[in-house]
């Protein structure tokens, strides 16, 4: 069961340079769109696939730089005896040290014996596959894997056309399950004879006039075609190519007629059975065509929960469901850096794994805004709904994920995990209760940005002291709609030590009533807007439309947050 130990890619599509030592089991590539995840899978497929040629264009060269060749180099370990044969590959075997991840041209004791396959494409666009070896090059030798070994090592690709694996065609997973081969020649010859006879009888009636014209013309030209022509199937023109024998259900319907999701799920399961021959699986957009429960089933079928993993899989996904099911040591963040691509393993510490389970969408975004609680999350969602309806680019379109940390004591437990993994991260918190100072310092050290309200203010203080008089009244009316007059009046009375009534707050707005409303609105029991939905609706309907009338301080904080979200 061969395993890929190292992947090197240069000048291929959006990848200028990539140097990666993948895991032996599941390698799930995540990150923002256009980071090169699918190109990595294509590179593996092109280099190791059992094909005699690949169609390349100038667009496959990084930055259209055809002067620099595309080079894809893959080192394979866990070799079978045939692949370690000194007679066949003696000049090309190399040594791999898993401890240092060093690949040497000379195999040595204590190192794994490996082979390195290289695909090179120059400006002539012709692909050339070779085995890499300084020793062989010095001797003027050059060769690739035998066709039989290439076929056995070729990865199984599950893409949009996965149904091709449900027929006994070249490279399909069915041909790797057993040594059995179907001999179709005799059956096809007999079927062809019967079809020729049946079609000939029908054609005499359907094509009689045409046949007469052809016969007359042939006779006039002295062509010995015979007196009576027939339209019959030409057995030599009927092509029975790979895929003649395919899987059918008991109702006779070909299994290629299954839905996309069912086909992908079935092929993934079959690949597990075929792992003795080919143990590398490539799945682009893992979730394509699958409901959440079948995403989980697919991951289970390829051994995501097993140790050691039965196959080596390279998959891409944008599904939070998939991230929740996988461990941090199965997730790789793909990033385009200047001059090279980065492959960062997420990791498996408790804070990391907990954050993946709670907020998988954060790991699929470009930027992450970690909010102290539900109120801050609702505020940002509501502002976004209003501003995007007015033509502003939405937070989703900007690639910003909102994370509800669940309180000030937890905000940097989440934010630091995400920031340390290299994500562009910011926090939004109240200032009435302070977080752990060392955690916030660590967050800022990791390039995290901190947004907070004015000194001593919670979000409710910032809102009631920041919006206009009209908006204060609207927020009070909204609170009454949600909770009823009695509860709101009780909160106002308690917050003012019975000095102010609801009726007073419904009158002229003063700094004193703003403060009382701020305190009353965040009362521990039945706080007025302390859910994502309540605050989201208040922000969408009242706060955002009133922003032009808000205080400069309130506008400044919101404006700075939006500037950061926009990449500024």
Q: What is the 3-state secondary structure (H, E, C) of 461-510?
A: HHHHHHCCHHHHHHHHHHHHHHHCHHHHHHHHHHHCCCCCCHHHHCCCCC
More confident residue, 463 or 258: 463
Report cis status (omega within 30 of 0) of the bond before 322: no
- Residue 81 maps to a domain: no
376 vs 430: CA distance, rounded Å: 9
In a shared domain, residues 422 and 565: yes
Q: Is residue 476 part of a domain?
A: yes
What percent of the chain clears pLDDT 90, i.e. is strictly above it? 63
| Residue from 317, 306, 42, 274 nearest 165 by CA | 274
How far is the C-alpha of 356 from the C-alpha of 334, rounded, in Å? 16
CA separation for the pair 433, 88 (Å, rounded): 71
178 pairs with which residues across the strands? none
**Across-strand partners of 331?**
28
Written as six digits, the tokens of 327 are 């461990």
Q: How far apart are CA 514 and CA 521, in angstroms?
A: 10
Average pLDDT over residues 128-143: 90
CA–CA dist 28, 420 (Å, integer): 19
The predicted model gives 440-466 an average pLDDT of 97
The residue among 432 and 205 whose pLDDT is bigger is 432
At residue 108, the pLDDT reads 82
Tokens of 223: 């062509």
SS3 233: coil
Domain end position, chosen among 206, 237, 268: 237
- One domain for residues 377 and 230: no
Range with the poorest average pLDDT among 31-35, 273-277, 346-350: 273-277
CA-CA distance, 358 to 245, in Å (whole number)? 47
How far apart CA 114 and CA 95 sit, in angstroms, is 6
Q: Pick left, alpha or beta for residue 36 (phi over 0 → left; psi -120 to 50 → alpha; otherwise beta).
A: left
Where do runs of H (alpha helix) occur along 302-373? 320-325, 350-358
Final residue in a domain of this structure, among 237, 252, 269: 237
Q: Note the pLDDT of residue 223.
A: 46
* DSSP3 helix / strand / coil % (the chain, rounded to 5): 45, 20, 40
| DSSP code for 155 | P
Q: Closest Cα partner for 368 from 17, 31, 21, 10? A: 31
- Specify burial of residue 31 (Cβ count, 10 A radius: 0-12, 13-18, 19+): buried
- Answer yes or no: is 190 within a domain: yes
Q: Is the pLDDT of residue 214 over 80?
A: no
Strands (E), 207-309: 280-283
| pLDDT at residue 485 greater than cutoff 70 | yes
Q: For residue 179, what pLDDT is reported?
A: 60
230 pLDDT exceeds 90?
A: no
412/355 Cα distance (integer angstroms):
11
- CA 69/CA 114 separation, integer angstroms: 24
- Among 112-116, 268-272, 502-506, the minimum mean pLDDT is found in 268-272
CB 371, CB 405: distance < 8 Å = yes
CB atoms within 10 A of CB 242: 13
372 in the same domain as 223: no
Lowest average pLDDT, out of 170-179, 480-489, 523-532, goes to 170-179
Q: For the purposes of burial, counting CB atoms within 10 Å of the CB of 325, is it exposed (0-12), middle (13-18) or buried (19 or more)? A: buried
Domain boundary among 205, 237, 269: 237
Residue 521, in any domain of the structure: yes
Distance CA 275, CA 311 (A): 6
For the beta sheet containing 400-404, the strands, ordered from the edge strand earlier in sequence to the opposite edge, are 400-404, 367-371, 424-429, 449-452
- The DSSP letter of residue 122 is -
Element of type H or E holding 4? strand 3-12
Q: Which residues of 4-19 are buried (b: 16+ CB within 10 A; e: fewer)?
A: bbbbbbbbbbebbebe
Q: Which residues form the domain of 500?
A: 365-568
- The beta-strand segments (E) located in 175-220 are none
Contacts of 476 by beta carbon, 8 Å cutoff, 6+ apart: 488, 505, 506, 517
Four-point Cα dihedral 503, 504, 505, 506, nearest 10: 50
Locate 157 and state its tokens: 């690709």
Q: Is residue 158 one of the residues assigned to a domain? A: no
**Hey, what are 105's tokens?**
């041209």
Structural domains in the chain (count):
2
The answer to whether residue 342 is domain-embedded is no
Contact present, 527 and 494 (Cβ < 8 Å): no
Task: Evaluate if residue 189 carries a pLDDT over 70.
Answer: no
User: Cα(72)–Cα(116) distance, rounded to whole angstroms?
Assistant: 10
- What mean pLDDT do residues 143-151 have? 90
The model's pLDDT over 399-415, given as tens digits with 9 standing for 90+, comes to 999 999 999 999 999 99
**Cα 459 → chain centroid:** 36
- Residue in 359, 326, 361 with CA at minimum distance from that of residue 345: 326
Residues 374-384 pLDDT 10s? 999 999 999 99
| pLDDT at 268 > cutoff 80 | no
What does the CA dihedral 364, 369, 371, 376 come to, rounded to 10 degrees? -110
Contact 279, 1 (CB under 8 A): yes
pLDDT of residue 566: 94
Picking from 514, 500, 507, 429, the residue whose alpha carbon sits closest to that of residue 463 is: 514
**168 pLDDT higher than 60:** no
Name the average pLDDT for the chain: 87
Q: Is residue 92 part of a domain?
A: no
Q: Is residue 161 part of a domain?
A: no
């Amino acid at each position: 069961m061969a395993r890929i130990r190292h992947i090197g890619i240069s000048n291929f599509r959006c990848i200028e340079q990539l140097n990666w030592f993948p895991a032996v089991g599941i390698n799930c590539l995540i990150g923002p769109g256009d980071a090169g995840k699918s190109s990595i899978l294509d590179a593996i497929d092109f280099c190791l696939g059992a094909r005699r040629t690949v169609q390349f264009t100038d667009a496959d060269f990084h930055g259209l730089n055809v002067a620099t060749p595309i080079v894809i180099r893959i080192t394979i370990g866990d070799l079978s005896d045939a692949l370690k044969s000194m007679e066949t590959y003696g000049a090309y075997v190399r040594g791999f040290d898993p401890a240092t991840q060093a690949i040497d041209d000379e195999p040595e004791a204590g190192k794994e014996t490996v082979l390195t396959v290289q695909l090179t494409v120059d400006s002539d666009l012709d692909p050339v596959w070779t085995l890499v070896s300084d020793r062989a090059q010095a001797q003027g030798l050059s060769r690739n894997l035998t066709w039989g070994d290439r076929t056995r090592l070729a990865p199984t690709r599950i893409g949009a056309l996965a149904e091709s694996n449900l027929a006994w065609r070249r490279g399909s997973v069915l041909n790797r399950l057993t040594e059995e081969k179907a001999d179709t020649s005799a059956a096809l010859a007999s079927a062809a004879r019967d079809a020729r006879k049946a079609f000939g009888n029908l054609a005499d009636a359907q094509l009689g006039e045409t046949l007469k014209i052809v016969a007359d013309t042939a006779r006039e030209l002295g062509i010995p075609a015979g007196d009576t022509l027939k339209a019959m199937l030409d057995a030599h023109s009927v092509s029975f190519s790979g895929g003649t024998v395919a899987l059918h259900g008991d109702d006779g319907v070909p299994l290629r007629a299954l839905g996309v999701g069912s086909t992908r799920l079935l092929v993934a399961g079959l690949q597990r059975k075929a792992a003795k021959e080919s143990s590398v699986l490539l799945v682009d957009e893992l979730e394509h065509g699958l409901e959440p429960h079948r995403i989980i089933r697919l991951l289970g079928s390829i051994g995501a929960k097993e140790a050691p993993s039965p196959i080596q899989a390279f998959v891409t996904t944008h599904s939070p469901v998939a991230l929740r099911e996988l461990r941090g040591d199965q997730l790789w963040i793909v990033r385009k850096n200047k001059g090279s691509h980065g492959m960062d393993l997420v990791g498996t510490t408790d804070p990391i794994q907990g954050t993946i389970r709670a907020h998988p969408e954060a790991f699929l975004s470009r930027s992450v805004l970690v909010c102290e609680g539900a109120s801050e999350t609702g505020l940002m969602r509501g502002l976004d709904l209003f501003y995007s309806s007015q033509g502003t680019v939405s937070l989703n379109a900007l690639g910003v994920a909102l994370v509800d940390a669940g309180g000030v004591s937890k905000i940097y437990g989440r934010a630091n995990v995400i920031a340390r993994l290299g994500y562009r991260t910011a926090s939004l918190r109240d200032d009435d209760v302070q977080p752990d100072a060392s955690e916030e310092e660590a967050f800022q050290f990791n390039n995290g940005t901190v947004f907070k309200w004015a000194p001593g203010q919670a979000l409710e203080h910032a809102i009631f002291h920041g919006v206009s008089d009209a908006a204060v009244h609207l927020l009070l009316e909204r609170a009454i709609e949600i909770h009823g007059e009695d509860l709101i009046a009780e909160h106002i009375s308690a917050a003012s030590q019975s000095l102010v009534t609801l009726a007073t707050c419904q009158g002229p707005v003063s700094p004193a009533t703003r403060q009382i409303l701020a305190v009353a609105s965040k009362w521990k029991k039945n706080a007025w807007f302390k859910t994502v939905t309540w605050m989201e609706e208040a922000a969408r309907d009242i706060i955002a439309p009133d922003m032009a009338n808000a205080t400069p301080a309130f506008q400044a904080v919101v404006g700075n947050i939006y500037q950061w979200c926009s990449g500024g």
